[in-house]
Structure 1
Amino acid sequence: MNILTCAQALTAAQELGLERLDAQLLLLHVLGKPGTDRAWLLTHDTTFLPQETGQHFRELSLRRAAGEPLAYLIGSKEFFGLKLQVDRRVLVPRPDTETLVDWALQQLAQADMPDSARVLDLGTGSGAIALALKKSRPALDVTAVDASIDALAVADANAQEHQLAVHFIQGNWFENVSAPFHLIVSNPPYVADADPHLPALQHEPLQALTAGKDGLDDLREIIEQAPAYLQTQGWLLLEHGYDQARAVCTLFEQRGFAEVQSRADLAGIPRCSGGRWPGAALGTGSQTAG
């Protein structure tokens, strides 16, 4: 393999189909430099890469060109100001999900919410939502659940890295969880089993993506079960697909939630929907967990 300068290596990566920013971040990674140090590449464009470093960069570039997420290749992803460890055991946190965190923080800022409000994050994955909430409001009592032991290992490592105290529980949705909570949040699987976009997501865990024929199976289950785990006047906020807001709001309304509404992401797409649980008298379930 020819020894290349930084500039030549970046050009070669772009010729493979990589976006310039991805190529820069990969090169900084193999050089052991932070992703914020892109200016270094500009001032060292004629610096030659050691052959081993150049080969490593070439291998990562080929994997990125084949569709593997950049976050898996560099081992981390920024989310709500937190640098989170991510790998193939968890989904890569998306910027869209910050919409859900923003909305949750707005609800937690309401006068009727105590500083130490109990919050439940269902399907926590890397721990992104739970840790962002705990970082923003340290007094919160945050519990995070995931069915995957591997995912919980990633989430726990992220919590320890950032010294954030979150309770992690292994289980399927509300399994092993003790009620009640002031707020429940979730970014559950919501992709339809036959969705044409799935091949582009082949590197991420399928069980964290798909949810039945219409992609609503897990959303239905959470909305149906949540009232038994919510305080009276507690909120349930859910992320969903770009075209699922109306269907999800209907599920909320049918279950007896009040103030049902949706929130749009930065692109103006309805990305999250939620509602307030008014109490057992207006729903079909009980207030306390069995």
Structure 2
Amino acid sequence: MKALDLDVMTMIVAVADTGNISRAAEVVHRSQSAVSMQIKTLETALGKPLFVRKPRSVIPTQDGEVLLTYARRMLALRDEAWAAVVRPDVTGRVSIGVPDDYASSLLPPILKKFSASYPKVEIQVVGLPSVALAPMVKDGSVDLVCATRVKGLSGEFIRLEPMEWAAAPSADEIWRERPLPIAVFLPGSVARENAIRSLERAKIPYRTSYESPSLLGLLSMAEAGLAIVPLARCAVPAHFTLLGRAHGLPEIPALEMVLARSSASKRPPCDFLAEKIVSELRR
């Protein structure tokens, strides 16, 4: 009988999402050797390699990508089956902190699905920068935080979110200006620090024409054609233009997205929302 163990499928997804076996081992709470052995055993059973091993990373092969698609579906179906059985009994309240750049695009579809599965759970969303959310999850002001890893905020790794330089279509090649006008989040933002550090390494003069804790504020400045914005890819509006090396701009390091939990979050509503966030954002 051909069997695909769900625990092994979880490992396959974790390795693909993190690009690193040691980090995947942390995600699934297993040793690195155990994860490597399970994947090798499955590859032997299938008679095909699932990953290409590189010095610092692993990437799925074509067959690995095929299996990965099914693995995600299998894990999602497992979660749905579990929720279908237990959801009538799940009640309560969950508070979650999310920064603007993630809340605008990533959170709404997840909360919609969660609310459909657990209609008796009340959800409160707190929108603040990652650096402001770190002490809140520590002191229990919020149950969960889905944010960029910053000092004082540790949690379960979800994924690396790419960063992009972006401009409004009407910006009229503002990216050619020197000093380069940029609109950025306030000091303490990892996105801001990554972008500025990239410009400094590339020796590109810049000026911060606008600072704000609000994503809407940054986008408004860009829409006015007064600056370009460094943003998480998920937060870039569809009609914006992505800028890169072809425009003389440096790459920006990705953001490490994590899910942190307070000590008071060990209860079913928080468990299920946390599982939903992780499973959806790792797809």
TM-score after normalising by structure 2: 0.26
Higher helix share: 2
